Structure 1
Amino acid sequence: MKLTLSFLSFFMSIVILSSCEKEYSSDYVRWGEKIDGGNSIELLEEHNIPYKLKKGIIYIPEDAVNKASYCCS
């Protein structure tokens, strides 16, 4: 019984932790500009939001815009 309960607890922990990571699949949209002294890139990395940087412009997946606005504005 104790072994079954331990296994169940372990399994539920794995399920919960794996469901916390979001996979973004939409097209990248312009989100902002990289500003000297700004911390936008660091905040995106800290919150596991993928980004692309082209000519000083930050692009993020369209389905990550709300999360990025909430955590990085």
Structure 2
Amino acid sequence: VQNISEFVSERNSLRDYINSYTFRRFISDFCGQVRALEIFYDDLLKKLKRGTNNVDYVHYMSHVKEELMDRYKFNLMTL
């Protein structure tokens, strides 16, 4: 966790990172079953079951973002 915090603080303003829509979507469901992680692993397992080890993680993170946007309709004007 410390390495992640250092990485973010060196490259971005922490305030900008915390205020990002994607970050807010990821943390919005922490009280539940960490839906973002569940979406990611479900999709990853489907890919691996097809017999490939070539995984485009950027694609999967983008898919998680889209799924969260569909599930949690944030009013982007108020964030």
How does the TM-score come out when normalised to structure 2? 0.23
Query: Which has a greater percent of strand?
Result: 1
Query: Which has a greater percent of helix?
Result: 2
Larger Rg: 1
